[in-house]
Chains A and B, each alone.
Chain A
Amino acid sequence: MKRRLLLLMPLAIFLLLLVFFYDGLKLDPSLVSSPLIGKPAPQFALTELYDPSVTISNADMKGEVWLLNVWASWCVSCRAEHPVLVDLARQRVVPVYGLNYKDQREDAIGWLKAFGNPYVSSLHDLDGRVGMDYGVYGVPETYVIDRQGIIRYKQIGPVTAKVLNENILPLVQQLKEERPS
């Protein structure tokens, strides 16, 4: 009897895993839109990555259209999207702020040194609290935030040249043309 139960174990483990897989499919990033879209971007006040004495908050970007890119030095996909961001930064169309998520300061700085720094400024979110407020699923993520500080778009996963040209840049253009109220 004991042996029988033991031999049923693999099946039981598999069925348990299935539940998670099914759940995982529903959670698929490309299907889920962020509940935050159309809502004000959560408030934050974080230290600057390079200079811990400087604190940056939402108020500093007021009246601007800007991108918030969540990244980390431990994140492999971030490396994949990085050239696209560096390229974007060079065009100077829209300021990109980095949210350095659950990362050590020196690792993050070393990473930017190695791969280039596309960010106007990076905010250091060591314990991931701000990331949690923004509902970060997985790094990287990118938010488009308008002049009123409302989140208008969220990209989960790497920003590709295609996503940038077809979704993000046209939206940024449109948001820039909206009159500040």
Chain B
Amino acid sequence: MIPEIGHFALIMALVMAMVQGTIPLVGAATGVTPWMRLARPVAQGQFLFIVIAFVCLVYSFLMHDFSVLYVAMHSNSALPWYYRIAAVWGGHEGSMLLWMLMLSGWTFAVSMFSRNLPDEMVSRVISVLGLITIGFLLFVLLTSNPFTRLLPAAPDGQDLNPLLQDVGLILHPPLLYMGYVGFSVVFAFAIASLLGGRLDAAWARWSRPWTTTAWIFLTLGIALGSWWAYYELGWGGWWFWDSVENASFMPWLVGTALIHSLAVTEKRGVFRSWTVLLAILAFSLSLLGTFLVRSGVLTSVHAFATDPQRGLFVLGLLVVVVGSSLLLFALRAPRVKSEGSFAGASRETLLLVNNVLLVVAMATVLLGTLYPLLADALGFPKPSVGAPYFELLFVPLMTPLVFLIGLAPFARWKKADLPAMAVRLRWAFGCAVAVALLLPLVLGKWTPMIALGLLLASWVIVTIVYALVQRARRARELGTAPFAGTTRSYWGMQLAHFGIAIFIIGVTMVKGFEVERDLRMDTGDTFNVSGYDFRFDGVAEHSGPNYAAMRGRVQVLRDGREVVTMHPEKRVYSARGMPMTEAAIDTTLFRDLYVSLGEPVDNGAWSVRIYYKPFVSWIWGGCVLMALGGVLTVSDRRYRIAVKQRIKGESPAPAQPGAVALAAESHS
């Protein structure tokens, strides 16, 4: 009964979405206010029905309803309750339902937090979101219904893929989807503006918090996925340039570019058609990611659920959504003229370079990811496009970008005085060079890559500190409190940039100083890796709720003192007979110790892998700081103030008089 209610709720949601996608849009085109006003209640109703459907599926999992095919395939009576909830999105059908929940959740959010926007805009935005919803609901109902019955019911379920039985996976897909789907809002704003013919500063201002919010989720989702791969796949790597990882990284790159170009469009009225294109691109790449993951066009470690028929449907959706929006762009964008002008050396130019670098980086990833497809179609030989390709191209692309992070916040809008900037920043640069030259020597190993990494990281940190010191000094001259005129979005920017520095330190240190040892260890053997003594105390049998395991015991000592006892495992999950390696990891701020069991060799000896990974947690820490920077930015009060100003019919002007003196250096 419950699954049928869920199924019915999905159909009701589709009906609501059809109303949502058409009537307000027509209303906006013809100026019929009641039709426009229909947008909000219909979107909220649609959200309600999706929530009902989702709750029904969760309920079926919790109640072990193995008469539902999807539950029987992805759950098991021995599976703990929290994994049963995570199992809801452990397979294709449930993932898509989660996708839907996110989409209508974002629509709901738009309907709630858009009270200050004109009716015409809101109705168009919600309608565009409704049209996307129709496409995906049809996809779910026609090709991937999670409520399909299995009669007679299975006595027990096949269990959730053991790779996915993990805390990281409970959170990774929801965060990632929140990011992916979040770009649909910015996309809808862009399309609505193209339809209404108003690509102005107000449009950019409305889009900014939505873009940043989606970007925050995407950042956290990618970081969590990387962390999950690190500890769950048992290989000790944190990024594999796998096609599915790339699929999430591309919208991130474009989203990052979009955040910066929206700033320019809002402040200076330039780059408008470029910004619109980025908004369309960010969401298109999210859809492309969905297509690549769901169609099985590219094989990948993530190939948990792939199906070519579904691929065809998603491809069709891609054609309709992306094709029509790019066509609309080609038709409408020629009318958009830039207002402001700017000199060759100005903050506008620096941000444009930032955008170009990010988009080129995205294109590089896209090309590398799709290369197998292109090569196949064109009959090229297929060399491996793997990590070496991406790393070769990424370092030269990211180096100037990170250099700009230090530079751009000091440049003025319209026209910057480059020689004066060079004089002001020469000490900062000198500091960074000194760190890059000397620190690796102190650490005991100097290579060009380590030096480059530390140069970039210290350049970013030194320029941030310098910028803050300067602000405080200037505030003192004006007689105000040190950071009185400093907005939250400025803090957010600096924090996010600081996060990048932390991330670079993590990557540099891991790449430069990690130690990997593959050893054959008898019980009682001790090996020294990077100053830690690892003593292997043998392996014992152990059993979990739905698996049997061989559990190793490794005692770690440093200078004779015990540091930690680690328990790497090799598990076999009973329902699927699938072997899994569960690495043991000991994390501190400055290093990870990573032990994983290989194979039994003979007479109780095992092959054991021991990694020493300095600063590895900084990689994810950096991402978290970036996301926190985003949170600070979104919470900036100027978004609320500005919106109210517009209602009164005033043009958006810099608000507080105290901030005017600092305006040249604020917000980017």
Q: CB within 8 Å of B: which residues of A?
A: 3-4, 7-8, 10-11, 14-15, 17-25, 27-31, 72, 74-77, 79-80, 83-84, 86-87, 102, 113-116, 128, 137-139, 156-158, 160-162, 165
Given contacts A14-B323, A76-B301, 5 further A-B contacts (CB under 8 A): A7-B334, A20-B374, A25-B315, A28-B308, A114-B598
- Are A79 and B235 touching (Cβ within 8 A)? yes
Shortest C-beta distance, A162 to chain B (Å), equals 7
- Are A162 and B576 touching (Cβ within 8 A)? yes
Measured in the bound complex, the distance between the Cα atoms of B388 and A52 in whole Å is 26
- Are B240 and A76 touching (Cβ within 8 A)? yes
The count of residues in chain B whose C-beta lies closer than 8 Å to any C-beta of chain A is 57
Cβ of B383 < 8 Å from any Cβ of A? yes
- Are B295 and A14 touching (Cβ within 8 A)? no
Cβ of B376 < 8 Å from any Cβ of A? yes
Shortest C-beta distance, A145 to chain B (Å), equals 22
Knowing A7-B330, A30-B296, A102-B384, the reply to whether A116 touches B599 (Cβ < 8 A) is yes
- Are B299 and A77 touching (Cβ within 8 A)? yes
Q: CB within 8 Å of A: which residues of B?
A: 233, 235, 240, 242, 273, 277, 280-281, 284, 291, 295-301, 303, 306, 308, 311-312, 315, 318-319, 322-323, 326-327, 329-330, 333-334, 370, 372-374, 376-377, 381-384, 386-388, 518, 576-581, 598-599, 607, 609
Knowing A14-B326, A28-B296, A30-B296, the reply to whether A128 touches B381 (Cβ < 8 A) is yes
Q: Which residues of B contact A137 (CB under 8 A)?
A: 376
Measured in the bound complex, the distance between the Cα atoms of B387 and A87 in whole Å is 28
Shortest beta-carbon contacts, A-B, top 3:
A11-B326, A24-B297, A24-B373
- Are A23 and B373 touching (Cβ within 8 A)? yes
Q: Which residue of B lies closest to A17 (CB)?
A: B370
Partner of B295 from the list A4, A25, A160 (CB cut-off 8 Å) is A25
Knowing A7-B329, A20-B373, A114-B518, the reply to whether A161 touches B297 (Cβ < 8 A) is no
Measured in the bound complex, the distance between the Cα atoms of B330 and A156 in whole Å is 41
Shortest C-beta distance, B534 to chain A (Å), equals 17
Q: Which residue of B lies closest to A81 (CB)?
A: B301
Partner of A30 from the list B280, B308, B318 (CB cut-off 8 Å) is B308
Shortest C-beta distance, B279 to chain A (Å), equals 12
Task: Give the most central of A28, A75, A102: most B CB within 10 Å.
Answer: A28
Shortest C-beta distance, B143 to chain A (Å), equals 14
Q: Which residue of B lies closest to A18 (CB)?
A: B319
- Are B376 and A23 touching (Cβ within 8 A)? yes
- Are A87 and B579 touching (Cβ within 8 A)? yes
Measured in the bound complex, the distance between the Cα atoms of B350 and A138 in whole Å is 41
Q: Which residues of B contact A162 (CB under 8 A)?
A: 576
- Are A11 and B330 touching (Cβ within 8 A)? yes
- Are B299 and A3 touching (Cβ within 8 A)? no
Q: Which residue of B lies closest to A132 (CB)?
A: B381
- Are B386 and A74 touching (Cβ within 8 A)? yes
Shortest C-beta distance, A75 to chain B (Å), equals 7
- Are A113 and B299 touching (Cβ within 8 A)? no
Q: List 27 A-B contacts (CB under 8 A).
A: A4-B330, A4-B334, A7-B330, A7-B334, A8-B330, A10-B329, A11-B323, A21-B318, A21-B373, A23-B376, A24-B298, A25-B311, A27-B373, A27-B376, A28-B295, A28-B296, A30-B296, A30-B306, A72-B384, A75-B384, A76-B300, A76-B301, A76-B386, A77-B301, A83-B581, A116-B598, A165-B577
Measured in the bound complex, the distance between the Cα atoms of B378 and A23 in whole Å is 10
Measured in the bound complex, the distance between the Cα atoms of B598 and A86 in whole Å is 10
Q: Which residue of A lies closest to B158 (CB)?
A: A162
Shortest C-beta distance, B333 to chain A (Å), equals 5
- Are B579 and A83 touching (Cβ within 8 A)? yes
Q: Which residues of A contact B599 (CB under 8 A)?
A: 86, 116
Knowing A28-B297, A83-B581, A161-B577, the reply to whether A76 touches B242 (Cβ < 8 A) is yes
Knowing A79-B235, A116-B607, the reply to whether A10 touches B277 (Cβ < 8 A) is yes
Measured in the bound complex, the distance between the Cα atoms of B579 and A20 in whole Å is 36
